[in-house]
Structures are given as structure tokens and as C-alpha cells.
Amino acid sequence: MLWAMLMLLLASYTAWAQERQVVPLHYELWQGEMNFIVSLKQTASGNVKLPKLTEPLFFVNPFADDKRLFALVKENGRFVLYADTNGNNDLTDEQPFWLRQWGRTLIFGPIPMRYYINGRTVIRHIGAYVPTLRNGEVHLILLIVSRWRGMIMWDGKLSSVVVMDMNCDGIIGEGDTLIWDEGGDERHLPTKGQVGINGRFFRYQVAPTGEELVVEPIQVRTAKVKFQGEQLILNVEDKSGRWRIEGQKGELVAPVGEFLLVGIEISRMDEQGRVWRLMANAFGPAVPKFAIPETGATLKFEPLQVSLIYYRKGEEFEFYLDIKTANGMSLRGLTVDYRMPPEPKLRLMALDEKIIFVTERQFHYG
């Protein structure tokens, strides 16, 4: 009896996953891997009321409700950071932040920033640290130290979703990231968009406050896109916005229409059983058009075009490889079994027939 009830419950979840989902997201502090997120350069203090500070450095970042000022000073040989956490253009009512251990990194914070969004005050946390460049120039780097988490139902299973405020402005929107973790396979998506996975299509959007994710199934006219490989991800744009479309085993079901092809990610297995993964994208005028008629289409991006570029600096030369797809997209990644492939070598030959080989140099990724 209990087993039958569990099966009925799972079936109801599966049916629900085909319908509109409103996924609550819970805000939390996070001590994950720190990345350079927002680099702030020095600026003037403007009309902000200041406490007595000795040789302060000022930085400004645009936030959800206004710009906020940061003041960096040295006290007893250590940096101290003041932040306008409440947005009242007054640092005299703020407490200083000292460097502290946060995960594996020393940061200022977490700094509780108060914002006024959609008629109410919310608190969001950021971190900061200070690198000094070789020329002595000081920057302030803002870091992500918080996120939103929730669970979405997909194919009868619960999958984790995480939302990150990538530009540290306190509001979720353009430039931020939604990470959908399906059994260890992560999809990194914008916080608003349209997705097609193996013939199922939906649109989604994260609320500006980050507190919920809305997912709605949509009906579209579809056709098949043929490709050579195990998996294909297309990032395309049309009048309705950007789409991420996924397919497997040489076939991808996509909406019918005229698109701009802004990115591809394709996996293919070689004769030795190794999985090669190629990622390419395009920007601006270089973005190729990609038509998907009702009769279907075939993705053509080969052969790859490899160009050798060099720059002369005095008596030295710097060489670069520029790799593009046949349709003009730039290669942005190539892996073999999720690792970087062997680095290619450059062999320089002399024009004099008596000297065939001159030198050999190895390229480096970066």
C-alpha cells in the first residue's frame, strides 16, 4: 500500500513538472570558490558625508537602488574598508570592515548591503578585497559571498538550482547566472530565457529579488537538426529572445525559424573512445545566421580554420593560434575527456634550402 502511494505521488510530481512551476529560492551566505567579479577603480568621493579619514581611496559601484561609495584607508599599517551599506550618502554612521578569513580567502565582509527593491528593504551580502598592481595602483574587487538555492522538478526528479548575483548590484537581472544542477551535470544559464531539452520547451525567469524562479512550458513548431556527435547545445537568438537548445545522439529538436547562432557546444567520441568537446561562439557582425525550416537542417561548422598570427616586439616574435569554425565562430574551448588537449608545437623553418630546421616552440593555453 505504501509503495503504491509513493508511485502515485511520483506520478503527480511528474505531471506537475509538465506544468507551470513556481520554485521558491532561499537566500544564504556562501563560502565557495572566490572569483574576480567586479573590479572598481578609484574615483572622487562626491557629496558623501565622511568621517575623519587619513588619505582615503574612494570607489563607487552602481547598485539596485543607487550608487554606493566605498572608502579604503590604512590604519596601523592595515587596510580598513568603509561602505555606504544603507545608501544614505553618509559614512559617518558606518562601522569599518577589517580583513577576515572567509573560506580559503581573506576578505572584507560579508558586508550587509541594504537595498530598496519593489517597495521593500532587503539585505544582500557582498565581499571585497584589495589587490595592488605592480605600478602601485590599488583596486577594490567585489566578490560573491551569497546566493539563492531551490529545487526544481524535472523528469520526475528533484534538481538543484542556484542563482548568483554576478555583478554584485543587489538585484537579479542582466548579467547574472542561474545554475541548474541535474545529477552533477551543470547548466549555466542567464536568469531569464527559453530552453529546449530533448524536444521539451519552456521559458523561465528569476524574480528581481532572487526569491523565486518561475518555469512555464511552451508549445512551438519544431524540426530536427542533424549533427555528428553524442551531444549538441545550441545558443540561438530570434525575436522572442535567446534560446538554449539541447540534443543527443546526432539529433536535436529545435523551434522552426530564422535564428542568429551565438554559440555551440558539441561532444564527439573518437575511435579510441575519448570524448572531444568543442565550444565556439560569435559576437556582433560575426554572428552567423542559422535557419531551421520545417523540413529540418544540418549543423555545418567544419572544417576548422586555423590561422597563425604573430606580433613583433623588437627582436622577439609572439605567435598565436586563431581557430574558427567554417561558419566564422571563434573557438573558446576544446577538451578531451574533460581535460585540455596536448599543447601544439610551432616549428620554424628557414627559407635557405641548406638549413631545413631552425627551432621549435610550444604553445601555451591562456
The predicted-structure confidence for 230-267, as pLDDT tens digits, reads as follows 999 999 999 888 999 999 999 999 999 999 999 999 99
Q: How many angstroms separate the CA atoms of 29 and 45, rounded?
A: 30
| Per-residue confidence (pLDDT) for residue 6, from 0 to 100 | 41
Residue 350 shares a structural domain with residue 202: no
DSSP code, position 285: G
Report d(CA 45, CA 57) in Å as an integer.
9
Question: Given the DSSP bridges, would you call strands 297-298 and 222-226 parallel, antiparallel or unpaired?
Answer: parallel
Same domain, residue pair 74 and 133: yes
The residue type found at 233 is I
Specify the pTM: 0.80
Across 119-137, b (16+ Cβ under 10 Å) vs e yields eeebebbbbbbbeeeeeee
3-state helix, strand, coil in the chain (%, to 5): 5, 55, 40
Given 218, 242, 277, the domain boundary residue is 218
For residues 312 and 324, membership in a common domain is answered with: yes
Let me know whether 71 and 208 are in one domain: no
Instruction: Work out the pLDDT band at 358, boundaries 50, 70, 90.
Output: low
Per-residue pLDDT tens over the stretch 27-40: 999 987 656 567 78
Range of 325's domain? 305-335+343-362
pLDDT digits (tens, 9 = 90+) for 194-240: 999 989 999 999 999 999 999 999 999 999 999 999 999 999 999 88
Residue 49 within any structural domain of the chain = yes
Region 100-122: what's the mean pLDDT? 87
Of 107, 127, 144, at which residue does a domain stop?
144
Calpha distance 258→221 (Å, rounded): 13
CB 74 within 8 A of CB 80: yes
Residues 25 and 53 in one domain: no
The answer to whether position 36 is within a domain reads yes
Number of folded domains that form the chain: 3
Of 104, 128, 144, the residue that ends a domain is 144
Dist. CA 209–CA 339, nearest whole Å: 37
